[in-house]
Amino acid sequence: MNSSATRYCALSSVETFIFLQLSATGAGQAQTGVLGGIHKAAGGRAFDLVFINLAQSLDLYAFMPFLARAAMIFRGLVCCLPSRRDGGACQAAAPDRMKMQWTTEKNMVTSHVSATHAPIAGTPPDAPGARVGFSAKAKGYLALTKPRVVELLLVTTLPTMFFAQGYSGRGGLPNVWLMVATMVGGALAAGASGAFNCYIDRDIDKVMNRTSKRPLVTGVITPREALVFSWVLTVLAVALLWSINPLTGVLGIGAIFLYVVVYSLILKRRTTQNIVWGGAAGCMPVLIAWSAVTNSVQWPAVILFMIIFLWTPPHYWPLSMRYSDDYNAVNVPMLGAVAGSRTVAVQVVLYTWAMVACSLLMIPLGGAGIVYTVVTLAAGAWFLVEAHTLYSNAKKDLVTKKNAMKVFHASITYLTLVFLSLAVDPFVGSALMG
């Protein structure tokens, strides 16, 4: 066996120990540098780190002893293969050496799990010997899904299905099973996205007052439970939406990817435009609903997508003004938290005008009738007044958390009215144009 491979086998316990210690302190760059040096000196065979990194990145600490053992076996098979230099002499010593190193690594990993997953002081569910009851656990899992967000997303789903049914020329209501499957699948997809977000943001949620009661912060749900729960919801959501048709399943996957990866992992902590582009995930339910009914994505669906896309900033930025202290405390650059009230108000007004103009495109291009037209014009005019009122207050430096939240709540009312009119429209009269 060559000398570099021998050094690598001997360094197994050392490198595992360093990796676990550094990961416990969050020193990602340091661990990369130190382990890189060890691997270079050892001949560059880093097979075990594939297993350890997997467990660390997915937070599967309970499986760390198993993964470490698998790494030990895999390394032993590679390092101790017969070679022309040693004639296979190291094979005889392999079992004893592997057993000794496995025992050492197991002890290190077990100690690491105990140290890094100790109960949070002052948190009743995590107190030594305490158990979380079924009711508390169930409420914790439900809270992970962000039910209020799911509810708002479903408000846009069913009306879109009604309108798509009428637009397709079939009339009446969509099939009951189709509506149930789409609503449940959409709810599962939204819930999975919310749960992943809670898992990803658990480090900042414990600092922000607005999120300090989330189950991962209080300890009602553990990180591993949250991650497994998120994946289970994802699989169920995709399976159910795919059973409707493959296009709907793909759109469901896209919705989860946009919220979890694009927004939560990439944009949220890096740019003030996070909610603009990350908010595209909240627009996906209308595409999912339309494709469930028609097995296609047509112009009306695209217009509805854009309405919600342009609605998201004037909906969320006033909320971030209300909780600016929270976002600043965790260095999340929400525009409402890092920019002046006048800048935010200008953006709210501009996006509101664009949203109202986009909503009117449903009349010439989407086959909308009288109900949608009247309600959308009235609701749009009212919301524009609220946005301009916010801007007037901002010019006078009179913006308060209360009038910022007034715009936030007005945005919810506006979207609800628009989509309720969309649901009723196919049953009253015919398209005004086209």
For residue 258, which phi and psi values (nearest 5 degrees)? -60, -45
Tokens standing for residue 174? 């969509």
Sole residue written with tokens 């909240």: 282
pLDDT band at 279 (very low <50, low <70, confident <90, very high): confident
> Whose CA is closest to 160, among 287, 268, 248, 71?
287
Maximum separation of any 2 CA atoms in the chain, in Å? 89
Residue 64: how many other CB atoms lie within 10 Å = 23
CA angle (352 as vertex; 351, 355 as ends), nearest 5: 85
Residue 247, classed as helix, strand or coil, is helix
The pTM of this model reads 0.72
User: What is the structure's pLDDT at 93?
Assistant: 44
Q: Provide the pLDDT confidence category of residue 169 given band limits of 50, 70 and 90.
A: confident
State the pLDDT at residue 70. 46
* Predicted confidence (pLDDT) at residue 68 exceeds the cutoff of 50: no
pLDDT at 79: 46
Interatomic CA distance for residues 132 and 308, integer angstroms? 39
Could you tell me how far CA 354 lies from the centroid of its own chain? Answer: 27
Q: What pLDDT, on a 0 to 100 scale, did the predictor assign at position 434?
A: 64
Look-up of token digits 């021998």: 6
The SS3 of residue 181 is helix
Q: Give the closest residue to 288 by CA, choosing from 149, 161, 425.
A: 161
What CATH number belongs to 298-434?
1.20.120
Q: What is the pLDDT of residue 164?
A: 96
CA gap 91, 80 in Å, rounded: 6
The residue among 121, 255, 243 whose CA lies nearest residue 187 is 255
Instruction: Compute the radius of gyration of the chain from its Cα atoms.
Output: 27
pLDDT at 165 over 50: yes
Question: CB neighbours (10 Å) of residue 408?
Answer: 19
The pLDDT of residue 63 is 43
Give the confidence band of 36 by pLDDT, cuts at 50, 70, 90.
very low
Show the tokens assigned to 130: 């305490």
Mean per-residue pLDDT for 234-257? 98
Tokens for 182, please give them: 């789409």
Of all residues in the chain, what percent carry a pLDDT higher than 90? 59
Angle at 37 between CA 35 and CA 38, to 5 degrees: 65
The C-alpha atoms of residue 25 and residue 171 are separated, in whole angstroms, by 61
Confidence of residue 130 (pLDDT cuts 50, 70, 90): low
- Cα 290–Cα 280–Cα 288 angle in degrees, nearest 5: 20
CB-based contacts of 100-103 (< 8 A; 24+ apart in sequence): 101/9, 101/12, 101/13, 101/72, 102/68, 102/69, 102/72
Query: Which positions ≥6 away from 176 have C-beta within 8 Å?
Result: none
128, two tokens: 């030594």
Tokens of 293: 């009914």
Mean predicted confidence (pLDDT) in 300-307: 97
Pick the most confident of 16-25, 31-40, 317-326, 414-423.
414-423
Dihedral angle, C-alpha 245, 246, 249, 254, nearest 10 °: -140
Q: What is the mean pLDDT of residues 97-118?
A: 43
pLDDT band for position 388 (cuts 50, 70, 90):
very high
